[in-house]
Amino acid sequence: MTQASIPIPFALGVQVWWTGYGGRETWIKCPECCGTKKVTLTLGNGEQYALDCRACSVGYDPPLGVIKKQERSYQPTPYTPRRVVEVSDRHTTYSEAPPDANAYSVVGAEDLYATKEECLVACAEKDKEFYSDEELRIKNLLVSARGDMAWSVHYWRRKASDLRKDLAAAEKRLGQCKDRA
């Protein structure tokens, strides 16, 4: 009986290059309210409403005037695989931990390169992709916040209108009761 074998992309114990990264969170002035924590919503009929900025508030907390921005820089990092963690038809993962370790982190073969030059090119691509995604995340945050603020004005205007109608109906009914008495 023959045994099937699956080749692994990189030999164990041989140094390769990983697209390692260093990241941090920074805070930037909110692009929606420019750090003032307030925005003015102007409706088509000219009515204006001053609102707390939803773009720089988290959950139900008050606005901060700043938003969180992720910064990341992929850098070629020497990596020596010591253990194959997973092998499948499309994916291979490695760990630098010795084979007898019971805790380890894994790196996919798609993030490993034989030369530093290849890794530098991959790092530049990953940086470009990350910052493109980060810009899209911030844009979507602002679009969502604008929708929330517009909905809030619509909701509370409608609520005030309904309450005025209810008050008018109650006063009318109360007037009818007084007339009967």
User: Structural domain boundaries of the chain?
Assistant: 16-180
pTM over 0.85? The answer is: no
- Sign of the alpha-carbon torsion through 171, 176, 177, 181: positive
pLDDT tens-place values along the chain, 181 residues long:
667 677 788 888 899 999 988 788 889 999 989 999 999 988 888 888 888 998 899 888 999 999 888 888 899 999 999 988 888 878 889 998 887 887 788 899 999 999 999 999 999 999 899 888 888 988 888 888 888 888 888 888 889 889 999 999 998 888 887 777 6
